[in-house]
Amino acid sequence: MASSDLVFSVTRGKPVLVSPAKPTPHEFKLLSDIDDQECLRFQLPILQFYRNDPSMRGRDPVGVIRDAIAKALVFYYPFAGRIREGPGRKLTVECTGEGLAFIEADADVSLKQFGDELHPPFPCLEKLLYDVPGMGEIINCPLLLIQVTRLTCGGFIFALRLNHTMSDGSGIVQFMSAVGELARGARAPSVLPSWGRERLSARDPPRVTHVHRQYDQVTDTKSNVTPLNDMAYRSFSFGPRELSILRKQVPHHLRTCSSFELLSGCFWRCRTIAVRPAPDEEMRYIFFFNVRDKCQPPLPAGYYGNGVVLAAATSPASKLCQNPLGYAVELVKNAKSDVTQESIQSMADLMVIKRRRPYFTLPGTYIVSNVTRVAFMDVDFGWGKAVYGGLARGIVYDNIPDISSFHLRFRNAEGEDRIMVSICLPQPAMERFVAEFESMMKEPIVSSTYKFTKSPL
């Protein structure tokens, strides 16, 4: 049975606040000028599924995890505080020690009933991660909401909702791993947290030294808006065979490109063909890029803030569609190379100059977050590693699902780790996308071209 067909009920306890196990400093800590930009002011849901472990018999995952959270918050005490907004929309954490929101729950369903393959989207998300009224804002609310749901088989589901201004995927996994270590008996996390947000803050005075195409102000000339309920959602799975088929389609100098670059080029090109833009329309592939090692010196190992910036590849639509796959792959590869210490600093400066308001460009944009290297599934609270661990949805932004997507890892029914890429488009565009994608995945490879029309979707 697929999780989309699954019917079950959940009994929840009243949300409580879990505060640090020991007194922590009451202080104000500035977020970085990368943390508090407009495009990160949203809540990010995460789901972790765990099997029953006979060696943990008699131990309650709810109690074990709740106690470990209180211990972890002694080290990560800013998570027990609240975000405040100051002049220029600058965000600060007031470390109040109030705590994060925690929900205890029981479901009348076993892990096996969720199906052999666990991956987004999870239609049952609202049961596994209750949206507590009044706790979902960015300002003046708990920074984390956690629900632990016991299953009838002895397994459980750990669900977390993160205020994204506080951390990226790597940062929140660092916190969850600390909870796991403390739950398994450690006295302190093996990686101690490092704040260091000033490393990604603006200069005084700020100065923009780079062109940031991801924040171009472009007028959207489209007159038709597709209702959200008319969208079609598809997920595509990639293992060694599928990646090999795509890799054969790029020039030899690109054969060593990363899986992310390869899949980015494929989906950007297919999506552009599917949405039928004007030939001269500027298309943007915007992606979150981890800069922890790009910074000079690199950010410390314990940094748990947003260590990602937006990078952008751009091209006229006609060139994307009429050139082979290698063209798009090389553009993405070059966009990654363009991220330097100075461009990162320039981006932080831009956020201050624009009062943190520049949202990424929307017209002609496809925005992607790659979390395939974020170790969600390695988080262990004592019951072993997660059967599935990671994002609860396959799109980045609920309000603009047709331009946002994730690359993530999951394990198929045969136990093979694979990459999943999801995409959401209006139904007619989805049909064109699938047709183009399937033509690229055939062997032998046949190069495809596209004749532009100006007809609407």
- Give the mean model confidence (pLDDT) for residues 139-146: 98
pLDDT of res. 444: 54
The domain boundary, picked from 200, 235, 266, lies at 200
- Give the mean model confidence (pLDDT) for residues 127-154: 97
User: Bridge partners of 311?
Assistant: 287
Asked if 164 is an active-site residue, the reply is yes
Domain span at residue 91 reads: 16-200
Q: Are residues 290 and 431 in the same domain?
A: yes
One of 33, 35, 168, 380 is an active-site residue; which one? 380
One of 119, 164, 212, 407 is an active-site residue; which one? 164
Domain containing residue 314: CATH number: 3.30.559.10
Q: Is the pLDDT of residue 1 over 90?
A: no
Q: Are residues 57 and 166 in the same domain?
A: yes
User: Bridge partners of 407?
Assistant: 370, 421
Q: Are residues 257 and 304 in the same domain?
A: yes
Question: Taking the CB of residue 93, how many other CB atoms lie within 10 A of it?
Answer: 25
Q: Is the pLDDT of residue 401 over 90?
A: no
Direct distance between the N- and C-terminal alpha carbons of the chain, in angstroms, rounded to an integer: 34
Q: What is the mean pLDDT of the chain?
A: 92
Residue 162 covered by a domain: yes
**pLDDT tier at 352, thresholds 50, 70, 90:** very high
Q: Are residues 311 and 236 in the same domain?
A: yes
Asked if 293 is an active-site residue, the reply is no
Q: Are residues 20 and 118 in the same domain?
A: yes
Q: Is the pLDDT of residue 310 over 50?
A: yes
Q: Are residues 223 and 174 in the same domain?
A: no
pLDDT of res. 204: 95
**pLDDT tier at 413, thresholds 50, 70, 90:** confident
Provide the pairing of β-strand 16-18 with 100-107.
Answer: antiparallel
User: The tokens 């609202």 sit on which residue?
Assistant: 126
What is the C-alpha radius of gyration for the chain, rounded to an integer number of angstroms? 22
Give the pair of three-digit tokens for residue 131.
């949206």
Collapse the DSSP code of 235 into the 3-class scheme (helix H, G, I; strand E, B; otherwise coil) and give the result: strand
Q: Round to whole Å and give the CA distance between 372 and 125.
A: 21
- Rounded to two decimals, the pTM is 0.93
Residue 445 covered by a domain: no
Q: Are residues 233 and 193 in the same domain?
A: no
Lowest mean pLDDT among 108-112, 137-141, 394-398, 453-457: 453-457
Q: Which helix (H) or strand (E) holds 126?
A: helix 125-128
Q: Are residues 194 and 268 in the same domain?
A: no
The count of domains in the chain is: 2
How much of the chain exceeds pLDDT 90, in percent? 84
- pLDDT (tens digit per residue) in 318-340: 999 999 999 999 999 999 999 99
Q: Are residues 194 and 270 in the same domain?
A: no
Q: Are residues 254 and 353 in the same domain?
A: yes
Distance of CA 179 to the CA centre of its chain: 20
pLDDT of res. 241: 94
